[in-house]
């Protein structure tokens, strides 16, 4: 897999890319194909290929990509993280997303939570190689999908109504009531949820907390596993909270003005990850189409000799290359601001744009790749059909591309000429 990279990767980075690619090709992809064809109930069993891959990923420390080295993280640069994430996305969007959301409760606890929480949960998660600790990220609610992405920058945020999950403070902890929607990735297999909840007497959804909820706590119930068109290799499902008590120190971000900034910056981080996965998926689709078009003969010559196919392949290449360097550059900026300098002032408009652009090109590339396969592309005998379905899911997952675009547009309109908020000077909700 030695193709030229505009960053002229060092020998070390090339070796890293090759190693992760081998893992993606030999372990992740075959498991993802099996999972795609299994029933939702079979997919979440402890002996399913899902847990087989997760355990191997944990042994290789892929869950520690964002963990600082003083806590045993692998001390990677943003470029190295990008390289790993693109390859994981190449292997499977569902399994890459699963190892992505696994990190959300625990890495945020490490960055923002109290020491007691790090001792209780983060350290065991770091050391776990058996997937006994597995995270998910509970944002979307039945009545609030896109609302959760739009309310923070909207001047009349209370028009979005009350959250579906409400947190009430008690003397020694918090009580949670309500429901997250059926699309929470890994919820059916997770042990812990990084949960966003609105505080009881808060004005709107943005008056919230981010906390960790052990999913074996009294009052937690998991709904049925969703049966989706795409991303079937990473299970989604709903979560119900019926007077669930958590101790005070399980609250990672309290209801302060920082909660909004935290959430916005977390979306900057996840946008870069989704962008890298999308480029990986696009590359997987392109490589399938290129190989097929070299082999398949029609009109007396291989498909690659036909001008329309040539043009399609060139355009796919152009899209993937532009997306890769945009996402990579954005990831370098975002990781520096959040993980290294800890100034939490990464630019939302750029991170949203990187995610949106990469998702769009992934769908366009997968769509054109399938077209190159003709009818074979629609058959489940070829992986291109799965890649197309996964690319379609990408346009909705982690925010629809339209709503992410509205959010980026608001940031462009308000902040185009200046850097983002001054983190030193926070007095109330920003906007
Ligand atoms: C595969 C997959 C994995 C996911 N994983 C997770 C996860 O791990 N955790 C989690 O919490 N959620 C997860 N989600 C949920 C995802 O974030 C939401 O589906 C997404 O934010 C959209 O919300 P919704 O589905 O409720 O759509 P809605 O918000 O109901 O939107 C419906 C349509 O209306 C448009 N729309 C919505 N609001 C506006 C507006 N104000 N103005 C104009 N148009 C608007 C949208 O663009 C969309 O086309 C996942 C979803 C998928 C598909």
pLDDT at residue 423 above 60?
no
Is this structure's pTM higher than 0.85? yes
Q: Dig out the tokens for 170 from the structure.
A: 């008690």
**What confidence tier does 425 reach under pLDDT thresholds 50, 70, 90?**
very low
Atom of ligand 1 nearest to the CA of 401: 47
Considering the domain boundaries, does residue 424 fall inside one?
Answer: no
% of residues, the chain, pLDDT over 70 = 97
To test ligand 1's pocket by mutation, which of 89, 395, 398, 401 has the most ligand atoms within 8 angstroms of CB? 398
Considering the domain boundaries, does residue 361 fall inside one?
Answer: yes
**What confidence tier does 1 reach under pLDDT thresholds 50, 70, 90?**
low
Ligand 1 geometric centre to CA of 230 (Å): 15
- The answer to whether residues 202 and 267 belong to one domain is no
Considering the domain boundaries, does residue 36 fall inside one?
Answer: yes
Q: Tokens 């981080």 belong to which residue?
A: 269
Among protein residues, the one whose CA lies closest to atom 21 of ligand 1: 399
Residue 217 burial by Cβ neighbours in a 10 Å radius (0-12, 13-18, 19+)? middle
Q: Tokens 């309290």 belong to which residue?
A: 254
**Which secondary structure element, helix H or strand E, spans residue 211, and what is its range?**
strand 208-214
To test ligand 1's pocket by mutation, which of 96, 183, 230 has the most ligand atoms within 8 angstroms of CB? 183
Alpha-carbon distance of 168 to 178, in angstroms, equals 12
Q: What are the distances in angstroms from CA 334 to CA 2, 238, 397? A: 28, 30, 20
Which of 49-63, 147-161, 394-408 shows the lowest per-residue confidence on average (mean pLDDT)? 147-161
Condensed to tens digits (0 to 9), the pLDDT of residues 305-318 reads 999 999 999 999 99
Considering the domain boundaries, does residue 426 fall inside one?
Answer: no
To test ligand 1's pocket by mutation, which of 160, 396, 407 has the most ligand atoms within 8 angstroms of CB? 396
Looking at residues 289-296, what average pLDDT do you find?
98
Looking at residues 133-150, what average pLDDT do you find?
97
**What confidence tier does 431 reach under pLDDT thresholds 50, 70, 90?**
very low
User: Where does a domain end: 203, 224, 253?
Assistant: 253
Alpha-carbon distance of 338 to 355, in angstroms, equals 17
- The answer to whether residues 86 and 166 belong to one domain is no
Alpha-carbon distance of 349 to 359, in angstroms, equals 15
Ligand 1 geometric centre to CA of 1 (Å): 36
Which of 48-52, 160-164, 225-229, 427-431 shows the lowest per-residue confidence on average (mean pLDDT)? 427-431
Q: Dig out the tokens for 260 from the structure.
A: 């909004």
pLDDT of residue 264: 95
pLDDT of residue 424: 52
Atom of ligand 1 nearest to the CA of 94: 1
- Report DSSP letters for 359-422, one per residue: HHHHHHHHHHHHHHTGGGGGSTTSTHHHHHHHHHHHTTTTS-HHHHHHHHHHHHHHHTTS-S--
Number of domains in the chain: 3
Among protein residues, the one whose CA lies closest to atom 3 of ligand 1: 397
pLDDT of residue 427: 37
**Which secondary structure element, helix H or strand E, spans residue 242, and what is its range?**
strand 236-247
Ligand 1 geometric centre to CA of 149 (Å): 9
- The answer to whether residues 299 and 167 belong to one domain is no
To test ligand 1's pocket by mutation, which of 400, 408, 409 has the most ligand atoms within 8 angstroms of CB? 400
Give Cβ neighbours of residue 284 (< 8 Å, ≥ 6 apart).
89, 90, 91, 383, 387
pLDDT of residue 416: 85
DSSP lists the bridge partners of residue 253 as 210
Considering the domain boundaries, does residue 352 fall inside one?
Answer: yes
Alpha-carbon distance of 162 to 61, in angstroms, equals 39
- Indicate the DSSP class of residue 295: H
- The answer to whether residues 94 and 107 belong to one domain is yes
Ligand 1 geometric centre to CA of 11 (Å): 41
Atom of ligand 1 nearest to the CA of 403: 47
- The answer to whether residues 149 and 120 belong to one domain is no
- The answer to whether residues 266 and 385 belong to one domain is yes
Q: Dig out the tokens for 328 from the structure.
A: 């990579």
**What confidence tier does 428 reach under pLDDT thresholds 50, 70, 90?**
very low
Ligand 1 geometric centre to CA of 300 (Å): 47
Alpha-carbon distance of 169 to 172, in angstroms, equals 8
What's the chain's length in residues?
Answer: 431
Average pLDDT, the chain: 95
- Report DSSP letters for 246-281, one per residue: EEGGGEEE-SSTHHHHHHHHHHHHHHHHHHHHHHHH
Report the interhelical angle of 29-37 vs 93-112 (nearest 10°).
110
DSSP lists the bridge partners of residue 197 as 209
Domain span at 217: 135-253
- The answer to whether residues 243 and 139 belong to one domain is yes
Condensed to tens digits (0 to 9), the pLDDT of residues 368-389 reads 999 999 999 999 999 999 999 9
pLDDT of residue 155: 85
pLDDT of residue 415: 83
Do residues 190 and 135 touch, judged by C-beta distance below 8 A? yes
pLDDT of residue 271: 98
Condensed to tens digits (0 to 9), the pLDDT of residues 72-125 reads 999 999 999 999 999 999 999 999 999 999 999 999 999 999 999 999 999 999
Q: Tokens 């402890």 belong to which residue?
A: 46
Residue 18 burial by Cβ neighbours in a 10 Å radius (0-12, 13-18, 19+)? middle
More confident residue, 154 or 127: 127
- The answer to whether residues 409 and 305 belong to one domain is yes
pLDDT at residue 430 above 70?
no
DSSP lists the bridge partners of residue 174 as 169, 246
Looking up residue 165, the CATH number of its domain turns out to be 2.40.110.10
Looking up residue 328, the CATH number of its domain turns out to be 1.20.140.10
Pocket of ligand 1 (CB under 6 A): 101, 137-140, 145-146, 150, 183-185, 231, 236, 393, 396-400, 402-403
User: Where does a domain end: 253, 282, 302?
Assistant: 253
- The answer to whether residues 268 and 375 belong to one domain is yes
Considering the domain boundaries, does residue 326 fall inside one?
Answer: yes
Do residues 364 and 285 touch, judged by C-beta distance below 8 A? no
Nearest to 283 by CA among 320, 255, 254, 248: 320
Q: Tokens 């993802």 belong to which residue?
A: 32
**What confidence tier does 426 reach under pLDDT thresholds 50, 70, 90?**
very low
pLDDT at residue 328 above 80?
yes
pLDDT of residue 421: 59
Alpha-carbon distance of 176 to 178, in angstroms, equals 7
Alpha-carbon distance of 88 to 107, in angstroms, equals 19
């Amino acid at each position: 897999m030695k193709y030229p990279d505009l960053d002229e990767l060092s020998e070390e980075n090339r070796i890293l890319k090759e190693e992760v690619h081998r893992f993606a090709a030999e372990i992740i992809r075959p498991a993802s194909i099996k999972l795609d064809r299994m029933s939702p109930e079979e997919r979440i069993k402890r002996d399913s290929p899902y847990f087989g891959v997760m355990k191997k990923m944990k042994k290789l420390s892929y869950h520690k990509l964002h963990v600082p080295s003083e806590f045993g993280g692998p001390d990677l640069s943003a470029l190295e993280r990008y390289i790993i994430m693109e390859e994981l996305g190449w292997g499977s969007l569902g399994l890459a997303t699963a190892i992505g959301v696994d990190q959300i409760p625990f890495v945020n606890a490490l960055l923002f939570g109290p020491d007691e929480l790090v001792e209780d949960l983060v350290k065991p998660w770091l050391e776990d190689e058996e997937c006994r600790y597995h995270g998910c990220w509970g944002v979307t609610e039945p009545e609030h999908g896109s609302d959760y992405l739009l309310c923070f920058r909207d001047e009349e945020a209370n028009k979005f109504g009350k959250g579906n999950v409400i947190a009430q403070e008690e003397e020694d902890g918090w009580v949670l009531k309500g429901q997250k929607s059926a699309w929470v990735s890994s919820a059916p297999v997770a042990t812990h949820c990084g949960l966003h909840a609105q505080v009881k007497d808060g004005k709107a959804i943005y008056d919230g907390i981010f906390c960790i909820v052990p999913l074996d706590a009294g009052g937690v119930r998991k709904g049925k596993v969703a049966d989706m068109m795409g991303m079937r290799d990473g299970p989604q499902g709903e979560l119900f909270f019926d007077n669930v008590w958590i101790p005070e120190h399980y609250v990672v971000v309290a209801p302060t003005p920082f909660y909004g900034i935290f959430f916005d910056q977390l979306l900057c981080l996840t946008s870069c990850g989704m962008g890298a996965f999308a480029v990986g998926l696009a590359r997987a689709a392109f490589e399938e189409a290129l190989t097929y078009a070299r082999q398949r003969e029609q009109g007396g010559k291989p498909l690659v000799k036909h001008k329309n196919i040539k043009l399609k392949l060139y355009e796919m290449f152009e899209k993937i290359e532009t997306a890769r360097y945009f996402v990579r550059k954005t990831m370098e900026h975002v990781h520096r601001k959040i993980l290294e300098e800890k100034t939490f002032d990464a630019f939302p408009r750029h991170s949203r744009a990187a995610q949106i652009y990469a998702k769009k090109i992934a769908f366009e590339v997968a769509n054109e790749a399938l077209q190159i396969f003709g009818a074979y592309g629609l058959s489940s005998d070829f992986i291109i059909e799965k890649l197309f379905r996964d690319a379609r899911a990408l346009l909705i997952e982690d925010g629809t591309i339209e709503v992410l675009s509205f959010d980026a547009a608001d940031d462009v309109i308000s902040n185009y000429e200046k850097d983002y908020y001054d983190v030193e000077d926070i007095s109330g909700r920003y906007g």
